Structure 1
Amino acid sequence: MAQDDVPAELGRLWRLPAAAPVGRPAELGIDRIVGAAVAVADREGLSGVSLAKVAKELGYTAMSLYRHVGSKDELLVLMGDAAEGTPPESGPAPGDWREGTRQWAFALRERFVRHPWLADLPVSGPPSGPNAVAWLDAGLRALRGTGLGWGDKVGIVSVLSGYVRTMSSMARQMEEGRRGTGLDQAQVERDYGRSLARLVDPERFPDAAALFASDVFEAPAEQPAAGAEDPDFAFGLELVLDGVAAAIAAAKAPPARPTS
């Protein structure tokens, strides 16, 4: 398929061949531009990315980049697809939808940990790049034997990816909030619980007051080692998967008999 058959931005996202415009530097291409942009984002965050800065990284002018990338918005889409990469090929035995979706979610979260700025990317539409479609395909494949319809399966993949994105963003923001305080997460939770215990009025907030009077913040769960599964993420993920299990059970249940 030639790029003329699809919108230009989509053609560049899928790296479809296109005629090189006059004056295009032969050694500069989309992959080099996107690679440099991802490196800037990894180093400085998404706010540090601009066409001018990326061009400077590569030793070109910003105008040179516009011959390959139509706008900064397009560059962000290209960066997101590149940083997500492709999902792992290995997985559980066919039919084990829960383990399949669990592995899918943790694998996607690993990409967000590797590139924290992914959670800051604007959501401009449904998956459209080759890597984004690969993740969609892998998620659908994990749900293949559930008996659910396409709409339900797409909805589940969307909910799971949204959960990964939100939890990754929260974890990064909390880490940034601790930065410079010299406190670890356990100390932050302990100080939070003690402070709120003094502030929360049991008459006004009875259940919240009971929470802060408990020892839940005094002895938080042991923090995982680097690279280990995040217990908070895992807990929420299992709740989401419980909902998926209920949807699967409902889809397989025989229709209710009408009452006379």
Structure 2
Amino acid sequence: MTSEEGLPAGLRRLWGLSEPARLGRPAELDVRRVVAAAVELADRDGLAGVTLPKVAKELGFTSMSLYRYIGSKDELLVLMRDAGLGPPPPEITRDAKSWRDGLRRWADDERHAYLRRPWLARVPLSGPPSGPNEIARMEVALAVLRDTGLDWAAKVGVLALVSGYVRHSALLFQDLAHGRAEGVDQAGAERDYGRALAKLVEPDRFPETAKLFASPLFETPDQEADYDFTFGLELILDGVEVTVRRADERS
């Protein structure tokens, strides 16, 4: 029995392992083509635009024919997420000056994947990383944490925390952009928000919040576009640094 035998069919397809040979004519489709068509649809129409009938139409086949290659819509989403993320760039581990710098680069790269393909952040997570690209990304993060003294549970916890933060930030960015009036940029939306709430928030009832809206923060929202993301990420890395220091002291 080879190492590939006995694997679930969905996992085999995710890793691009060949399916057992079938009698009859050679297959006209394959998993790679189905996933590529689905990703192209999502890039064009968003995640809601991806249905098995639409993917089949793009390929010139019937919906039922796709089930020879994709077990379900849920499996297709797993395949799309792994393909859409792609592999991590090698320079993360090559150029990282420290574990902190490496994790920062890792988070930035993941965030840019979500910015390139907004639908990625909206793919439901049905389990831990299992595709080749996701595992490659996990490998990079574990490599930058290799010399920290953290045990495996702590390393996995760090990865889950950072990746979860990146995904949540991407979703929040999309939701806020969607909620803005057409033609209003982020800075303008923040100014309008601050001015409106300054009229409603009474100092007697909300003393600290009233001070916030009376401050220059919302009148001059000229911070770099990535400020909120970077600020939150650095707070998380500060916490990781404390954990790393404690692990080093114990060892």
- The size of the alignment, in residue pairs, is 249
Match of 1:166 among 163, 168, 193: 168
Q: Within 1, Cα distance between the matches of 2:249 and 2:5?
A: 48
Alignment check: 8 A CA contact 1:189 1:217 kept = yes
RMSD of aligned C-alpha atoms?
1.8
Q: Alignment partner of 2:102: what SS?
A: helix
Q: What is the letter of the counterpart of residue 5 of structure 1?
A: G
Whole-angstrom distance in 2 between the partners of 1:127 and 1:5? 20
Shift of the 167–196 alpha-carbon distance from structure 1 to 2, 3 Å rule, reads: same
* Residue 106 in structure 1 maps to residue 104 in structure 2: no
- How do 1:1-260 and structure 2 match up within 5 A? 1=2, 4-21=5-22, 26-91=27-92, 96-178=98-180, 180-224=181-225, 230-254=226-250
Give the 3 Å change call, closer, same or farther, for CA 29–15 of structure 1 in structure 2.
same
CA distance in 2, matches of 1:173, 1:21: 46
Deviations 1:178-220 (A, max 9, x none): 2x52211111000000000111121221111110111100001
Contact 1:148-1:248 at 8 Å conserved across structures: yes
Q: Which moved more, 1:25-34 or 1:111-120?
A: 25-34
How far did 1:148 drift?
0.4
Going from structure 1 to structure 2, the CA distance change for 1:24 and 1:38 (only over 3 Å counts) comes to farther
Q: Which amino acid aligns with 1:67?
A: R
Unpaired stretches in structure 1, ≥5 consecutive residues? 225-229, 256-260
User: Normalising by structure 2, what TM-score?
Assistant: 0.94
- TM-score under structure 1 normalisation? 0.90
Shift of 1:11: 0.7
CA distance in 2 between partners of 1:22 and 1:235 (Å): 58
Structure 1 CA distance, aligned partners of 2:19 and 2:182?
A: 52
